[in-house]
């Protein structure tokens, strides 16, 4: 028989391993700590997901519970207006998914935005509309059969394709071009060019209807979409486009998130931020944003402390860099001096971690030193990563 002491020790081990396991879980999914930019709150958002009210496989309340679990602040359920997955079981009322989810969202701290996906397989292809008033008013006259099928009319009129977008404009909505890609079975030839940004998109842009583009969709970063965002100055989004449960799709990472820098957690503040392009994308330890947001976001994520030290007989400056967030950063340093402890001048800053660099020798200390950091996992364009400068007073 085991002694009580041994049993006690076993219990301690079990608690220790259990806390390790749950700690890991928490880091992956729950309340990921990220930095903000001055004057704004960082809202973690996912603006693209489906339920059984179109071609998804979960009930709307489940999307809210998942969002709560993943520490999201804001979600939009965006069922296809032009596809019904269960026409015999579920009455075609496009407001219902929102109503059901809204009741659940109010119990939690999740803000629900009313939205829908308009998804013809000809230009302008799939687009999400957000901040809508009445989803049942969106026409889909380009469809022949939506009952557990997706069959478009043979002779589709341009005005039928434009009609839902004009309705979105009437309702004051905001349109995001979803996952721009050359997909099989989609009529790219009829687009008039092989360009993913078609004349139809140009028209939507000119009419002030189109304002955003999905640069990350589910597990994919799309450099072509990133270029479209730059060229047409569109707000960037990273969304899950979940059709099944989130948990099984993101076992080793967090779901993609659109970080919205908003004045407060309200639908109006989210809309204001989105219309101003104040977003960054967080996906698989990669951050994507414009320099206007990316630079202050990174600067707020880290803190620097320095002290003079003597290392192997030479005067140096030791700089400790602390990561206050759960994001990780791949850093390359330059300072005009040698960084003695990093032969390649680069290191990986773990989430909530610290690293120290030894700058020198500095035989004659100046009043301040410029330390430049290139952050290899923050993209500020399809080709460039963030470089920013810190001034260290001595």
Nearer CB in complex with Zn ion: 35/240? 240
Q: Are 64 and 105 in contact (CB under 8 A)?
A: yes
Select from 102-110, 119-127, 297-305, 326-334 the region that touches Zn ion (CB under 5 A): 119-127
Binder of Zn ion out of 55, 79, 295, 326 (CB under 5 A)? 55
DSSP state of 339: B
- Contacts of residue 218, defined as CB under 8 A and 6 or more positions apart, other chains included, come to 239, 240, 241, 242, 249, 256
Give the residue closest to Zn ion by C-beta: 126
CA distance readout (Å), 155 to 141, 142, 143, 160: 11, 8, 10, 10
Angle separating helix axes 96-107 and 60-69, nearest 10 degrees: 40
Binder of Zn ion out of 63, 94, 114, 126 (CB under 5 A)? 126
Q: Are 286 and 238 in contact (CB under 8 A)?
A: no
Residues written for the chain: 394
Q: Does 79 bind Zn ion (CB under 5 A)?
A: no
Q: 276 in helix, strand or coil?
A: coil
Q: Does 63 bind Zn ion (CB under 5 A)?
A: no
Nearer CB in complex with Zn ion: 127/279? 127
Distance CA 20, CA 24 (A): 6
Nearer CB in complex with Zn ion: 161/380? 161
> Strand 235-239 and strand 210-217: pairing?
parallel
Nearer CB in complex with Zn ion: 239/323? 239
Residues 12-51 interacting with Zn ion (rule: CB under 5 A): none
Q: How far is the CB of 179 from Zn ion (least distance, A)?
A: 6
Over the window 270 to 299, marking each residue x when it contacts Zn ion by CB under 5 A and - when it does not, the resulting string is: ------------------------------
Nearer CB in complex with Zn ion: 55/295? 55
Residues 176-205 interacting with Zn ion (rule: CB under 5 A): 178
Q: What is the binding site for Zn ion (CB under 5 A)? A: 55, 126, 178
């Amino acid at each position: 028989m085991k002694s009580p002491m041994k049993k006690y020790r076993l219990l301690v081990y079990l608690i220790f391993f259990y806390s390790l396991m749950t700690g890991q879980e928490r880091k992956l999914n729950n309340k990921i700590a990220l930095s903000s930019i001055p004057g704004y709150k960082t809202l973690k958002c996912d603006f693209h997901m489906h339920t059984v009210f179109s071609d998804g496989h979960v009930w709307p309340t489940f999307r809210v519970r998942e969002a709560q679990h993943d520490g999201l602040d804001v979600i939009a359920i965006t069922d296809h207006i032009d596809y019904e997955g269960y026409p015999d079981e579920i009455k075609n009322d496009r407001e219902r998914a929102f109503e059901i989810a809204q009741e659940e969202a109010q119990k939690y701290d999740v803000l629900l935005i009313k939205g829908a996906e308009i998804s013809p397989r000809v230009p302008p292809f799939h687009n999400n509309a957000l901040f809508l008033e009445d989803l049942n008013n969106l026409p889909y006259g380009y469809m022949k059969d939506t009952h557990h099928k997706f069959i478009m009319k043979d002779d589709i009129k341009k005005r039928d394709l434009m009609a839902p977008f004009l309705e979105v404009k009437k309702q004051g909505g905001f349109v995001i071009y979803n996952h721009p890609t050359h997909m099989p079975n989609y009529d790219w030839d009829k687009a008039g060019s092989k360009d993913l940004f078609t004349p139809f998109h140009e028209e939507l842009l000119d009419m002030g209807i189109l304002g955003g583009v999905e640069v990350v969709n589910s597990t994919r970063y799309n450099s072509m979409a990133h270029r479209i965002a730059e060229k047409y100055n569109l707000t960037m989004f990273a969304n899950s486009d979940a059709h099944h449960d989130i948990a099984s799709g993101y076992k080793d990472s967090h779901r993609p998130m659109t970080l919205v820098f908003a004045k407060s957690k309200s639908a109006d503040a989210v809309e204001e931020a989105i219309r101003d392009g104040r977003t960054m994308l967080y996906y698989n330890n990669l951050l994507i944003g414009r320099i206007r947001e990316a630079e202050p976001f990174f600067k707020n994520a880290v803190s620097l402390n320095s002290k003079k030290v003597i290392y192997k007989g030479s005067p140096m400056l030791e700089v400790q860099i602390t990561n206050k967030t759960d994001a990780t950063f791949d850093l390359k340093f330059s300072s005009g001096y040698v960084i003695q402890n990093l032969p390649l001048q680069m290191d990986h800053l773990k989430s909530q971690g610290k690293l120290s660099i030894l700058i020198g020798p500095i035989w004659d200390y100046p009043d301040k030193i410029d330390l430049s950091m290139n952050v290899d996992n923050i993209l500020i364009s399809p080709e460039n990563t963030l470089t920013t400068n810190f001034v260290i007073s001595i």
